[in-house]
Amino acid sequence: MSNSSSNEGYDGVTSINNNPHTSRTAQGSDQLPRYSWVGGSTPILPRYSMVVNPPARPGSAPGSSRSATTIHEYNLKNGKIPWVTLKVSSRAGPSSNHVKFVGGDTVTGSVILDLNSSQTIKAIYLTVRGRIITGSTAHQSYTFLDYQSLIWSKAHGDPRHMSSGPSTLKFDGKIVPGEYTWPFSFSFPTESTLPGEPRPPSQHRIPNTFRERGANVSVLYDLTLHIIRGKLRADDKIRIPVVYIPKITPEPFSHLRQLAYRENTPLPDPIDDPEGWLTLPAANIRGVLFQRAVELDFQLSIAKPLCYTQGTVVPCSLTVRSMDIQALDILVSPKTVGAVLKQRVKYFPDARQFERNIAQVVDVMDVGAAIWWSPNTTASQGVRERRIEGEIHLPKGLQPSSDFAALIVEYAVHLLPPKSPIFCVDEGVETLPSQLVSVGTIRAPGPTPREHVARPPVTREPSFDTVPVFMEGDKH
């Protein structure tokens, strides 16, 4: 617990009091508590206990799968005794410091006050905040989401006699000793507006939590409980890191591809299953092999739909044609051909640049390479062509695609020229074809995609468990 309010961030970055571009308010639960006396006699300031049904487990969007949930508990303490308890149900594991939500999830839990003395409180509410951070200065932190869910305010009246709406009796906010519990439930926000848009502003899907080692940009979310005191006393806060994952689901695979997965047979090729593949334009590659000029046409196909879930694969098929049969035999093999998945991250290092749409930074990196093998049959190949099959493995922690203007994450499959110590590609070779694809977070309906070869060793996966919970409150 910290009594300092100078550093509101939990990521080592000093936060700023900027004006968020999105602010919405949701009322808390209308469920009314019952009250019971504690103790055998009636003291001067009686201690009350609000008895309510426990909040429901977090919900999810219709038709979505739901993983096991954990009830996380956070406290502000008076010495060793908690006087504020925040309980939140989420998908994160019990040892996690963060909570975790997927697009469409319902955030449920409760706020508990256990007061040993009277306290003056003006309001209690929760916020969900999303920020894009590119540095430590004020202009390098942009708040794109600030969602509020009101739990209680003094306008509701004395919590011992709270009604479903504003109270007709004036209440000064002084809450007598006792235990008070407010359950809450609201949908985790999935969209936000952007500054500078014409009225009415459009809603845009918010990005995934983005926090990777070596990256120059981060996307951070937090869930914060605010207990508002008034002018003469500091407010109390509990801030929890949030891992947010948007719900991005691919369309179903082609009928023949689903059948192959179910029956554990090889995937049909682009000729047998034209609806299940996208074939790119042929690329003419020229070079020198054994001191003679050779020319080959490389044509890459990738499986449709062009959205692939984290932790699955991008099936590939490569057909190469040439009049030079020796060149085909040497240059078309699992060790010589290549295709990669490139990630492109676009962002603005300065929030002021974002509002003027200038000086965008683009970071590009390879996040996956195709692994190839020869097909079981060559019946569909001509004498002057070769076909080879492959797949690109997507890491389980790969960032999903994002079209949010302040942070764009996009992917493309790129064909590479063949690599061989005895083949020299002409310097003037044309730009090889590439295809934009997207990375999803939910498995496509139907059978689970099957991997043909073992995955390469994992070199990096994002980790959020090292992010601390931030608490700020007076000792009472």
Confidence band for 20, pLDDT divided at 50, 70 and 90: very low
> 38-93 pLDDT, tens per residue?
333 333 333 344 433 344 444 443 334 456 899 999 999 988 899 999 999 999 99
Give the helix/strand (H/E) hosting 256.
helix 255-263
In this prediction, residue 35 carries a pLDDT of 30
> 154-208 pLDDT, tens per residue?
888 888 876 555 656 778 888 999 999 999 999 999 999 876 677 777 888 999 9
Give 314 or 16, the one with higher predicted confidence.
314
In this prediction, residue 427 carries a pLDDT of 81
Backbone angles phi, psi at 258, to 5 degrees: -60, -40
Give the helix/strand (H/E) hosting 262.
helix 255-263
Provide Rg for the chain, Cα atoms.
29
| Mean pLDDT rounded to a whole number for the chain | 81
For 49-53, 278-282, 345-349, 459-463, which range has the lowest pLDDT when averaged over its residues? 49-53
| Residues 139, 140, 144, 146, Cα dihedral to 10° | -80
Q: Which residue has the tokens 């093998």?
A: 373
* DSSP per position, 8-72: --SSS--------S-EEEEE---PPPEEEE-SSS--SS--EEEE-PPPPPP---TT------EEE
* DSSP per position, 409-447: EEEEEEEE----TTEEE-TTPPPPPEEEEEEESSPPSSS
Q: Which residues pair with 186 in a beta bridge?
A: 107
What are the structure tokens assigned to 389, written together? Answer: 């099959």
| SS (HEC) of 295-356 | EEEEEEEEECCCEEECCCEEEEEEEEECCCHHHHHHHCCCCCCEEEEEEEEEECCCHHHHHH
Instruction: Map out the domains of the chain with their CATH numbers.
Output: 23-247 (2.60.40.640), 255-440 (2.60.40.640)
In this prediction, residue 168 carries a pLDDT of 63
**Amino acid present at 435:** Q
Confidence band for 361, pLDDT divided at 50, 70 and 90: confident
In this prediction, residue 10 carries a pLDDT of 30
In this prediction, residue 358 carries a pLDDT of 66
